[in-house]
Structure 1
Amino acid sequence: MTKTLMIQGTSSGAGKTTLVTALCRIFADEGYRVAPFKSQNMSSYSYRSDDFEISRAQAIQAIAARTDISPHMNPILLKPLGDYKSEVFVKGKFYKKMRADEYYKKFSLTRGLDVAKKSLDNLREQYDLVILEGAGSPAEINMQKYDIANMKMAKHCSSPVILISDIDKGGTFASIVGTLDLLEGEYKRFVKGYVINKFRGDIDILRPGFVMLKKKTAGQYLGQSRS
């Protein structure tokens, strides 16, 4: 039975892509058939094959997973053009140019969500483990309704979620607690633990924060990384 794991962040740049890449290689080296997945990625950097175009990040993650690169790994790619407009690619093929309001109100919750779910299901049929990557933060309260990159994907496959936060930016504990507090009730149960990224100091200084974090969120501190 295919397992899933999702990495979400308290913000953009928290380290989601790097952690997913590392986990893909770790599990691949353990002998699992692993695939990365990100339902929607906004990026100017893409990977182009003869047949399709997806985000470069998911292509690199596929290489880390020692598997073939597939358009199902990034079914929706948004290439920004400026002035709130993007080129939209669906399963690796150019779809159309859209302004942000058109994309969110007329595409994301209809065709976009359907395409994302089907691509994820496709990967789950082929692999032992699919590691999902979220986008930005799952707790952007002005955008949660249209967000098809985070908790809607976790719910679709009943995936546990690990929340990663960048301590370099400061406010790590506040961002973790705040993210959980702002999540819609049905989604809180998916978050199983936290990773603090870019920590380079004395771990003992952080320990009181772990205790308070567990009391406030019931989640587990899983570790720190230095990426």
Structure 2
Amino acid sequence: MKSLMIQGTSSGAGKTTLVAALCRVFSNKGFSVAPFKSQNMSNFSYVGKNFEISRAQAIQALAARCEITPDLNPILLKPLGNYYSTIFLRGKKFKRMHATEYYSKFVRTKGLNLATESLYNLQKNHDLVILEGAGSPAEINLEKFDIANMKMAEKAKSPVLLVTDIDRGGSFASIVGTLSLLDKKYQKLIKGFVINKFRGDVNILKPGFKKIQTKTKRPILGAIPMADFDLPEEDSLNVNPKKFHWTKKNLEKIDAEIENLSKLVVRNLNIKQIERMIK
């Protein structure tokens, strides 16, 4: 029962893409792999036979070469505006809910139980589950309601890699700040860091790598260069995703893009060290 979790210092850090890449990397190594995101807010979904989950987890499943099932994304919130969302539970429409009701009455009871059950189903049926967090684990105002980050890592008994978008600036501070804001029991789960969307010569970063390791006692496992891959994106503040049609031609194109992405990640991350971290 092996697992690995990717969390980010912010939204848009590259969690979704990195999970897809690692799903393919470990699938290519012979693992039976499945992606997992307990809770996703997105208006872009994959509609299967009698179920609907986030499009991102469906694409990650293509990367993992696993079946697309409701367990990959047990809670989907489709925002309606004015703090309301339509909630889907294991692919089935549940109800329209206000954020206050969702957080105060649902998420830490039925929501957590449902997500945990789906996670355990995947762990039973696969060699490796690669979990994706949501936003940042250091949103301390929402910590007690967060079932997408450290609570899931704890349930999965999973090591966590923290990815940060260096193109935005402030990545080293974001790494140290995120780690420092977490409870000590959660700090222990973070085993290393990934620099994403880097432009330039990686040697420029190496003095920073050494300082981060000295301060945190954890390694930076590599820097992924900025690259343009034609993969459908999630809807968030910094992207404007396009509609995607699940045709054979498009799926073949996505598969080729994922394969190229996985090769980029293998070249720039210490995959052997990551593999040693996986329980």
Cross-structure match for 1:67: 66
Cα RMSD for the two superposed structures? 0.7
Is 1:129 matched up with 2:128?
Answer: yes
Identity of aligned residues (%): 64
Cross-structure match for 1:92: 91
Spell out the pairing of 1:209-224 with structure 2 (5 A cutoff): 209-224=208-223
Deviation at 1:68, TM superposition (A): 0.7
Q: Equivalents in 2 of 1:149, 1:7: separation in Å?
A: 11
Identify which range, 202-211 or 27-36, moves more after superposition: 202-211
Deviation at 1:205, TM superposition (A): 1.5
Aligned residue type for 2:132: E
Deviation at 1:24, TM superposition (A): 0.7
Q: Deviations over 1:184-221 (max 9, x none)?
A: 11100000000000012122221111111112111111
Q: Equivalents in 1 of 2:153, 2:98: separation in Å?
A: 27
Cross-structure match for 2:143: 144
Aligned residue type for 1:14: A
* SS state at 1:89 partner: strand
Cross-structure match for 1:208: 207
Cross-structure match for 1:114: 113
Q: Equivalents in 1 of 2:207, 2:125: separation in Å?
A: 43
Cross-structure match for 2:53: 54
Cross-structure match for 2:175: 176
Cross-structure match for 1:82: 81
Q: Equivalents in 1 of 2:159, 2:190: separation in Å?
A: 6
8 Å Cα contact 2:8/2:134 also seen in 1 = yes
Cross-structure match for 2:262: none
Aligned residue type for 1:133: E
Deviation at 1:122, TM superposition (A): 0.3
Cross-structure match for 1:162: 161
* SS state at 2:198 partner: coil
Aligned residue type for 1:140: E
* SS state at 2:115 partner: helix
Identify which range, 210-219 or 109-118, moves more after superposition: 210-219
Aligned residue type for 1:37: F
Q: Deviations over 1:127-186 (max 9, x none)?
A: 000000000000001011100000000011210000000001000000000000111111
Q: Equivalents in 1 of 2:70, 2:154: separation in Å?
A: 22
Deviation at 1:50, TM superposition (A): 2.1
TM-score by length of 1: 0.98
8 Å Cα contact 2:53/2:76 also seen in 1 = yes
In the TM superposition, structure 1's runs of 4+ consecutive aligned residues that sit over 6 Å from their partners are none
TM-score by length of 2: 0.80
Aligned residue type for 1:80: P
Aligned residue type for 2:9: T
* SS state at 2:124 partner: helix
Q: Equivalents in 1 of 2:216, 2:141: separation in Å?
A: 23
Aligned residue type for 1:141: I
Q: Equivalents in 2 of 1:43, 1:215: separation in Å?
A: 38
* Count of residues in Structure 1 that have an aligned counterpart in Structure 2: 226
* SS state at 1:173 partner: helix
Q: Deviations over 1:64-113 (max 9, x none)?
A: 11111010000000000000110000000001011111100000000000
Identify which range, 135-144 or 215-224, moves more after superposition: 215-224
8 Å Cα contact 2:160/2:189 also seen in 1 = yes
- What are structure 1's unaligned runs of at least 5 residues? none
